[in-house]
Amino acid sequence: MTLLKSNHGIDLYDLADTMFLSESTLKNDIQLLRNEIQNKQLKLTIKANQIYLEGSESDKRRYMISLLYEEGDYQEKLKYHVQDMIGTLSLIDLEQTIHDVLASHKIKINRYSMNNIVLHFAISIERIRQGNDLKSVKDFPLRNDATEFQLCVEITELLSNTYHIHFSDAEVKQLSLLFIGLQNEYLTNRKELALSKIVEARVIETLNEVLEKVKETYLIDLQDEAFFNKLAIHLQNLYDRSQYERFTRNSSLLDIKTAYPLTYDIAVYLSMLVQEKLAIWFNEDEISFIALHIGAYLESKKEKRPKLRVLVDHNNYHDFEETNVQNIRSMLGEDVEIVAVDHHEVSIQENDVYVSSDRDRVTEINGAVYVHPILTRKDFAKIQKRVTAKRKSNWRKQMFHLIDRFIIEDLYFNQFDPTDQTPKMIREKLFDRLLVTGYVEEEFSQRMEKREAMSSTSFPSGIAVPHSLEQQAKKSALSIMILQETLKWDEYPVQIVALVAISQDESKEFNDFFEMFIEIVSDPINVRLLAGAENFTEFILKMKMLVETEE
């Protein structure tokens, strides 16, 4: 970033002193940087002990943006790094100016799009203040009367007056490309306005076909009018942006992939079909926005988990059933079913927690909770504690069962030496084992590679989780391979590979297991612990131990 800010190069020795590095270490770092920027259309040179970063202004800005996103993986960190770059210029004021102009035109955008726009404007302002104006823009696709261009003119005029800088015509044109695909909020919220007025027929038709394929593949019905309309408008915007490859960066991409792996995978599948049918391409960031749409809808339709049954034996005390049972129900909420009975009718086996004011009865039943005839705060706390413990116990029991069911010893590779191996070779080895043991068919390999090409399945925690685009395995299972040493898998070094096979018939139960599995292996400490297993039994024991710590 220091080199990007300097127009006249940086003294090699001054830089070494500033960074507290020896000259030889700094030169090694410079060579690493040279290798990194080879495909960025930038060049690093040293002349008379001065270091220079050479390249076009557009390429330098593009590299600045990538650096800022890499440094700021999360929204607040990203804001911090941008604010640090622009110094005294207020990022909050800059965002407010852009927001006010968009709002005056009834245009509303999400937080990620706003962050992306603000970042580009901040870099533009900083480069202009350093004397680095854009001189020209190649193949500008917009007319001067286009809404996107006029929005940018309005914003840059306000910023020019506020910060006393001049935006060249090329700057305004380049920044106006950020607004391609924004929809008019007033139009999109008018119920009487047909979707066909703002979304092309081919986009609507494509989305209908794609959602039908998603239903066939994942057994999830996404045909809801409100969801369809929102996603159709988003896809129209995305289609427009894709014509100029103007994509919005999503600084929460990794969070979404890690926290919602199944939702993200549906988004990958949907995106692949959309790209094929509309003959367009878009990146992982845009896939993650589609995942947010899907995730929000699925969350609204989420099935409630099975209720815990709490048996309250009121023992014929006056008003116990009417008052105390009502208070217990209010305290525990809707996730718990309260069954109030006289103790003569008690059937303990059918219930999870037994509550009674009969001390003798309580002493006969494991896990029972004794309460006073008139419940005290301590009684309520005891009931709550017991219900929580029982819910954890039930969840733990279910997860242990699913671990034993889906992590198979015949599919386990222990301490495999990855020397001279590539990720593709590892995937093929795991696939071969699934094939010969009857879990998948030949077509699985091709679908697995297609999924990997769409979005890498490696995680920064040190695990890769390759899988097919479709849930068409004969049986569901994980094929686990522990590597003796880390293997570079796209962006990240991995030491565990878990090839996933999912059968539609078992998808619901497997998804419950898989969400838990991903949550555990998203932590690098957990991955290192599992990677230290010397045999299958030890791996399973460690996995179950981690389940208990996740509660």
Per-residue pLDDT at 209 exceeds 60: yes
Among 6-20, 106-120, 198-212, where is mean pLDDT lowest? 6-20
Tell me what pLDDT residue 248 has.
64
Q: Which of 49-53, 239-243, 332-336, 501-505 is predicted most confidently? A: 501-505
Q: Do 459 and 521 meet the contact criterion of CB atoms below 8 Å apart? A: yes
Mean pLDDT of 75-103: 73
Cα(489)–Cα(494) distance, integer angstroms? 6
The amino acid occupying position 14 is D
What are the residue ranges of helices labelled H in 164-311? 169-176, 185-188, 201-218, 225-242, 253-259, 261-278, 284-300
State both tokens at 192: 């009487």
Cα(432)–Cα(424) distance, integer angstroms? 12
Cβ partners under 8 Å of residue 302, min gap 6: none
Per-residue pLDDT at 191 exceeds 70: no
Mean pLDDT of 69-83: 51
Tell me what pLDDT residue 75 has.
44
Cα(385)–Cα(20) distance, integer angstroms? 54
Instruction: State the average pLDDT for the chain.
Output: 81
Tell me what pLDDT residue 318 has.
55
Mean pLDDT of 85-107: 83
Per-residue pLDDT at 147 exceeds 80: yes
Mean pLDDT of 464-490: 93
Tell me what pLDDT residue 463 has.
94
Cα(114)–Cα(124) distance, integer angstroms? 15
Strands (E), 348-491: 353-356, 369-370, 413-416, 463-464, 472-489
Q: Which of 129-138, 251-260, 374-383, 424-433 is predicted most confidently? A: 424-433
CB-based burial label for 175 (10 Å; 0-12, 13-18, 19+): buried
Mean pLDDT of 151-172: 91
Per-residue pLDDT at 247 exceeds 80: no
State both tokens at 71: 């440094």
Tell me what pLDDT residue 475 has.
95
Tell me what pLDDT residue 429 has.
97
Q: What is the pLDDT of residues 304-335, one digit of tens each?
A: 666 777 767 766 555 555 666 777 777 777 77
CB-based burial label for 166 (10 Å; 0-12, 13-18, 19+): exposed
Tell me what pLDDT residue 521 has.
92
Instruction: Provide DSSP, 11-50.
Output: EHHHHHHHTT--HHHHHHHHHHHHHHTGGGT-EEEEETTE
Cα(330)–Cα(326) distance, integer angstroms? 6
Per-residue pLDDT at 192 exceeds 60: no
Q: Do 486 and 379 meet the contact criterion of CB atoms below 8 Å apart? A: no
Q: What is the pLDDT of residues 387-409, one digit of tens each?
A: 888 888 888 999 999 999 999 99
The amino acid occupying position 289 is F
Among 20-24, 80-84, 359-363, where is mean pLDDT lowest? 80-84
Q: What is the pTM of this model?
A: 0.63
State both tokens at 104: 């005056």
Q: What percent of the chain has pLDDT over 70?
A: 82
Tell me what pLDDT residue 11 has.
75
The amino acid occupying position 277 is K
DSSP assignment, residue 506? Answer: G
Tell me what pLDDT residue 397 has.
92
Tell me what pLDDT residue 71 has.
46
Name beta bridge partners: 77.
none
Choose between 442 and 82: higher pLDDT: 442
Tell me what pLDDT residue 253 has.
65
Q: What percent of the chain has pLDDT over 90?
A: 30
Strand order in the sheet with 43-47: 10-11, 50-54, 43-47
Q: What is the pLDDT of residues 269-299, one digit of tens each?
A: 899 999 999 998 888 888 888 888 888 887 7
Tell me what pLDDT residue 315 has.
60
Question: Phi, psi at residue 52, to the nearest 5°?
Answer: -125, 145
In whole angstroms, what separates CA 455 from the centre of its chain?
12
Q: What is the pLDDT of residues 412-442, one digit of tens each?
A: 999 999 999 999 999 999 999 999 999 999 9
Cβ partners under 8 Å of residue 432, min gap 6: none
Among 34-48, 91-105, 156-170, 533-547, where is mean pLDDT lowest? 34-48
**H/E stretch holding 336:** strand 336-341
Q: In Å, what is the CA distance from 362 to each residue of 357, 369, 386?
A: 8, 7, 14
Place 74 in a pLDDT band, splitting at 50, 70 and 90: very low
Question: Phi, psi at residue 333, to the nearest 5°?
Answer: 85, -170
Place 73 in a pLDDT band, splitting at 50, 70 and 90: very low
Place 107 in a pLDDT band, splitting at 50, 70 and 90: confident
